[in-house]
A and B are shown apart, each in its own frame.
Chain A
Amino acid sequence: MEPREERGWIAAAQGGDDLAFARLVEQYAKPVHNLCYRMLGDPAEAEDAAQETFLKAYQKLKSYDPLRSFPTWLLSIGAHHCIDQLRRRRFRLVSLDTVRRRPAGRDSQPEKLVEQAQSKQSLQGELARLGAYERAAIVMRYWYDLSYEEIGQALGLSVSAVKSRLHRARRDLAAGAETARQVSAREGSGVTTA
């Protein structure tokens, strides 16, 4: 979508045109859904979170600053929504097994298939070990190539806070991968000696 075309759809949506905003939803469904999926780790929850993100964006559209990048603004809303979801999740008394066995939501088969295709030591599992803000920063940096300034603006953090969170996130991911490698090496040697 051309920037001028995008501005036109935004202006029309600000005037109350639902279909114009639906065009923007169609355009940015993938990045927003990906952000939600990478942050929440569950396809059904990611679908709901992405829908809620667009609803919130639609409600706040009048306060959108046209000087700011629209996708970055959307990702900022999505990241904050997911951070709230992760906070709430901590208080829910649901076992991990229940979450894993929960049937996937409607129309979530493609994500499910992709998820199943991923290896056991998936990236998703590694991301799940990170804190909410670290996860959001990693997703924004690696999947959307946002600058430190943009990430800071989106998450309400200073540039130095973004840098330190990204550093911490990478260090934790690397440490997790190292541990997993050592465990699998130990298991491998155990099998051969048995």
Chain B
Amino acid sequence: MVSRLLDPEWDLIDAKLRRSPQLGPAAGFSRRWLALLEQRREERRLRQVRLMLGGLLLGALLSLALVGVEVLRALGSPAGLVGGWIRAGLSARGTLEGSYLFLRDIGGGLPAVFGGLAVALTIGWVSAVWFAALYRFSFANLPNGAEK
């Protein structure tokens, strides 16, 4: 009964639906899609880097906590802890003094330019390792202010 009453409206709706055009997007839709795809990839890379760094930090903190627990257990008391630090300091001082005397004896016979060269090589080596680490951890892909 209801359907029969609605019959004319039904036909009108049918005709209206069939007449309606397809509405397309504004020009440049695929270009915008490619930009969005690139943006999502960048976000995913950043998320992965953050996850990796977070994991590393967590691992470092856990290791530190384990080492700390072991050290505290070995020392036993606050007095023992301070005593341990003093002993470690004295031991380090002895090692440094020994190294200094050793280097002085060796270096005495060499021109000063070798010392400078050694320092420069060390700085170069440390820098190379640092940059390699940065590259490895994908910092090269972080946005650096340049417009996308």
Binding site for B on A (CB under 8 A): 18-19, 22-23, 25-26, 29-31, 33-34, 37-38, 46-47, 50-51, 54-55, 58, 107-111, 114, 123, 126, 138, 142-143, 170-171, 173-175, 177-178, 181
Contact A33 B24 (CB under 8 A): yes
Within 8 Å CB of A33, what residues of B? 23-25, 29
Tell me which of A23, A29, A55, A174 contacts B29 (CB under 8 A).
A29
The CA of A102 and the CA of B18, in the complex, are separated in Å by 30
The CA of A54 and the CA of B33, in the complex, are separated in Å by 8
The CA of A91 and the CA of B13, in the complex, are separated in Å by 30
A30 — nearest CB in chain B belongs to which residue? Answer: B24
The CA of A50 and the CA of B30, in the complex, are separated in Å by 11
Does B69 make an interface contact (CB < 8 A)? Answer: no
Interface extent on B, as a size class? 20 to 34
The CA of A136 and the CA of B34, in the complex, are separated in Å by 27
Contact A29 B10 (CB under 8 A): no
The CA of A100 and the CA of B20, in the complex, are separated in Å by 22
Tell me which of A19, A47, A126 contacts B26 (CB under 8 A).
A47
Cβ of B44 to closest chain A Cβ, rounded Å = 11
The CA of A110 and the CA of B29, in the complex, are separated in Å by 13
A-B contact pairs, 14 of them (CB 8 A): A31-B22, A33-B23, A34-B23, A34-B24, A54-B33, A111-B23, A111-B25, A111-B26, A123-B20, A142-B20, A174-B12, A178-B6, A178-B9, A181-B9
Within 8 Å CB of B30, what residues of A? 22-23, 25-26, 29
Contact A55 B40 (CB under 8 A): yes
Within 8 Å CB of B29, what residues of A? 25-26, 29, 33, 47, 50-51
Cβ of A179 to closest chain B Cβ, rounded Å = 9
Contact B22 A51 (CB under 8 A): no
Cβ of A104 to closest chain B Cβ, rounded Å = 10
The CA of A45 and the CA of B10, in the complex, are separated in Å by 29
The CA of A58 and the CA of B22, in the complex, are separated in Å by 23
Within 8 Å CB of B70, what residues of A? none
The CA of A18 and the CA of B20, in the complex, are separated in Å by 33
Within 8 Å CB of A58, what residues of B? 37
A24 — nearest CB in chain B belongs to which residue? Answer: B30
The CA of A81 and the CA of B12, in the complex, are separated in Å by 30
Within 8 Å CB of A143, what residues of B? 17, 20, 22
The CA of A64 and the CA of B29, in the complex, are separated in Å by 23
Contact A123 B16 (CB under 8 A): yes
Contact A138 B33 (CB under 8 A): no
